Amino acid sequence: MSKIIAVTSGKGGTGKSTVCAGLGYTLAKQGHRTLIIELDFGLRCLDIMFGMENDIKYDLGDVLSGKKEPLEAVSQVPMAANLSILCAPKTLTSVNAEQIYDICRSIKKYFEYIIIDTGAGINSHVFDIVEQANLILVLSTPDQVCIRDAALMSDEFYNRGNKSQRLIINKVSKKVIGNALVANLDEIIDKVGVQLIGVIPDDFKMTVATGKGNPIPTDSEALRAFDAISKRLDGDFVPLTVKTS
Ligand SMILES: Nc1ncnc2c1ncn2[C@@H]1O[C@H](COP(=O)(O)OP(=O)(O)O)[C@@H](O)[C@H]1O
Ligand SMILES: [Mg+2]
């Protein structure tokens, strides 16, 4: 049985695509057959994050139009043998939750993890899609607007009966150290009201890679944090990689 994980946040630019890429990569490196489905229509970026911008033959648009079967439209990622991606179309295409779940149903026997990058914005289509996931990863940065949006998202998921949620706090600055960092993280967890599964440092290597259009840096601190979260997803106990004392 594959596990469907939806990665969401209220605000754009919080790092959804980065988290999908980081978790997908580390899960694959840990030996799990993993697929990332990118739902950010018109804002494709996973191909660049995995250094395969010119190697994408088909995308989700080809599946939605019936031109290709889902398995024919996925691209294998050269950086990680167990990882495949189904890229977003470069143009805006309408999609509904049922179509996405038909795709997941038809390919879930080939993958242990299916990670869904829900893309930007809070709209009913995101809620419908996320509703059927086994686990919702709610993403926030320490930014107050982002925290409030994450809390609103999460409340709505709870109201709809989606209790399986975990919080990832991304872009945590190491300038806030020691007790101040713990207080800071505690406050975010309390405000969002979701159990924490991991903290990702604000990693300059990550920002530079995106800025230059390079693949995600696999030797970065952020990737170490993703590796720890991936192990927690698989049931292991792993301490936070961002030191809090
Ligand atoms: N942990 C991090 N450290 C540094 N930069 C990050 C981190 N996470 C994301 N970013 C940067 O933030 C920007 C937005 O990230 P992205 O994953 O595209 O967000 P979203 O998909 O939510 O819109 C990118 O430039 C990315 O490199
Ligand atoms: Mg994105």
For 184-203, write each residue's pLDDT tens digit.
Answer: 889 999 999 999 999 999 99
Beta bridge partners of 166: 137
CATH of the domain at 26: 3.40.50.300
Give the CA distances from residue 192 to residues 111, 145, 146, 152, 188, in Å, rounded to whole numbers and listed in that order: 31, 11, 10, 8, 6
Instruction: Quote the pLDDT of residue 235.
Output: 83
Amino acid identity at 102: D
Q: Whose CA is closest to atom 23 on ligand 1?
A: 13
Q: Is residue 242 part of a domain?
A: no
Query: Cα(153)–Cα(227) distance, rounded to whole angstroms?
Result: 26
Instruction: Quote the pLDDT of residue 240.
Output: 65
Q: Is residue 88 part of a domain?
A: yes
Q: Which atom of ligand 1 lies at the shortest distance from residue 18's CA?
A: 17
Distance (angstroms) between ligand 2 centre and the Cα of 223 equals: 17
Provide the mean pLDDT of the chain. Answer: 89
- Contact in structure between 154 and 194 (CB atoms under 8 Å): yes
pLDDT of 243 over the 60 cut: no
Using CB distances shorter than 6 Å, the residues near ligand 1 are: 9, 12-18, 120, 170-171, 200, 202-203, 206-207, 210, 222
Q: Is residue 182 part of a domain?
A: yes
Closest among 114, 113, 126, 105 to 41, alpha carbons compared: 126
* Per-chain residues with Cβ under 5 A from ion ligand 2: 16-17, 40
Q: Which domain holds residue 148?
A: 3-233
Q: Is residue 196 part of a domain?
A: yes
Residue 71 tokens, joined:
């398995």
Percent of all residues in the chain with a pLDDT value above 70, rounded to a whole number: 92
Q: Is residue 52 part of a domain?
A: yes
Residues 6 or more apart in contact with residue 117 via CB below 8 angstroms: 7, 16, 17, 20, 36, 37, 38, 39, 40, 46, 88
Q: Is residue 240 part of a domain?
A: no
Q: Is residue 191 part of a domain?
A: yes
For 8-63, write each residue's pLDDT tens digit.
Answer: 988 788 999 999 999 999 999 999 999 999 988 778 899 999 999 999 999 999 99
* Predicted TM-score (pTM) of this structure: 0.94
Q: How far apart are the first and last CA of the chain?
A: 39
Domain count within the chain? 1
Q: Is residue 141 part of a domain?
A: yes
Instruction: Quote the pLDDT of residue 245.
Output: 45
What is the residue whose two structure tokens read 């079967």? Answer: 69
What is the arithmetic mean of pLDDT over 69-88? 96
Q: Which atom of ligand 1 lies at the shortest distance from residue 170's CA?
A: 1
Distance (angstroms) between ligand 2 centre and the Cα of 172 equals: 18
- Contact in structure between 26 and 226 (CB atoms under 8 Å): yes
